[in-house]
Chains A and B, each alone.
Chain A
Amino acid sequence: MFKAFLIKYGEIGIKGKNRHLFEDALIRQIKYALKPVEGEFQVTKEQGRIYIEALGAFDYDEALASLQCVFGIVGICPVVLAEDEGFEKLAEDVAAYMDARYPDKRKTFKVETRRARKSYPLTSMEINAELGGRLLHTFPELKVDVHNPDIMLHVEIRKKINIYSETLPGPGGMPVGTNGKGMLLLSGGIDSPVAGYMIAKRGVKIDAVYFHAPPYTSERAKQKVVDLAKIVAKYAGPIYLKVVNFTDIQMYIYEKCPHEELTIIMRRYMMRIAEHFAKETNSLGLITGESIGQVASQTMQSLAATNEVCGIPVYRPLIGFDKQEIIAVSEKIGTYETSILPYEDCCTIFVAKHPVTKPNLKIIRRSETHLQEKIKEMVKTAIETAETIIVEADMDP
């Protein structure tokens, strides 16, 4: 029955003179999200709302699911469109709508009319009163409540007449692309895809870097990371994923440095390489899935040690999250099932039995001097040989 969606957006509305930039970005993201959906859509901006009309037949559930992935959308109202064929016909259409949507009529309601087309013969107040009266007459079980109704029935007089009464939740946040770009350190775990999601939610476009270590990590582990990026791309738009072969660097550190410091030093080099790519592609910060104290390399001391090598900000949106809270988000956004597939990533495979939890920066720096001979060349090679995969959202589950 629905032929259109009215999109409500929150924060964008208060962005002053930049407002049109945010709205245009939101329209762009909506169009991108609707591209794989069966059907054709017209997306327009009018009077402070975004309005999506389906041109012909379309898959309602698919369209709704896609819209619910677009950051910046606070609410989605499925709209019934009626031709303007006089008030009598309008009253019939409204009654039919109520009958179809609310089989149980023991509810309170209020009619809320907006006249975008001021040439309509009745005023908004007149329409409210007249439609309300007729509905009460047709469905005696209905009651009017103008302060706190169960059903807020909106009637908007535009070129066509719009009837809607429900607002389904959108994901909130801000349209991707309105807040610069960030480089996500993506692993196959639970946390990093969630971190990417959360930063993208604030309007940041996401690039990503993945470190793999063949033969210690498998092709399947890499495929898993691509699959995770695909899911994040449903929300964040296409992701440029850099795949860096990290084996030689890892081995070299393993050979030259104390084993309990391996993870910290490894992460410092990952940060350095990620920062290189970030600068190269105009990302303004790094994004990680770290959370204080979750593992040895995420204590305050360890974070300080890895942070030290970065010249650009490192955003850690999960920093105060417990594991259960992170899992809850990953289940909500659909990455959890993929994250828990059992393939090794390069962080876990060489982990020491007792890694340092309170690394001393001076000692770490001194250990890194053992790498002087070859590390620059190795980092250069890793950067040069990195593969770039453009990951597009895959609408299949």
Chain B
Amino acid sequence: MSTEIEGTAATAAPPQKFTALSRIFHWLTAILIFAALFIGLTMVNWLAGYAELRVIHMSIGALILLIVILRIVNRARHHPPAWPPTIGRLEGKAVIWSERALYALLLAQPLVGWAMVSASGTPVRVFGVLRLPPIAPSNIDVFSVLREAHSILAYLLVAVVAAHVSAVLAHSIVLSDGMLRRMTFHIGRRERSKI
């Protein structure tokens, strides 16, 4: 994926980047959340793959939960770099709230998944060996609420992630404001002058 779409309208000063740790966390989360969503949606519709994918899905979920907690700590300790000047007041509000929504969903979804399995009375085992304690009482009504919530949150995540990626693409391509470059690594830097 080319992350260096640049044009004549680029801002004079190169935009500041997120810290390397923030960027690693971000892309790790991106990969894991796409995988978890895709596997989660697939497994409930695939008879032969269900058993295998369920184990993988739960393991990825546990990993996401861990990373998101670390990210929240990291976010509290490091203020992200300034937005490009192309973000106005109103859009800024949307950016703030979409970031909060993403963090909330990323934190809630694995917790709901964990609680949902707990409520069904089933042991929560991840990575084949690690057993997590139950975090909800074994109760079918609690299970039902959490199970439906897990699906609703999944589709909300799909929507918010789609909006997030679309907004960054719009800024980076239409406005050429280097929005995406705040999150990228330096791979292919020398290619930039070609575009």
Q: Tell whether A pairs with B.
A: no
Query: Which A residues fall within an 8 A CB radius of B?
Result: none
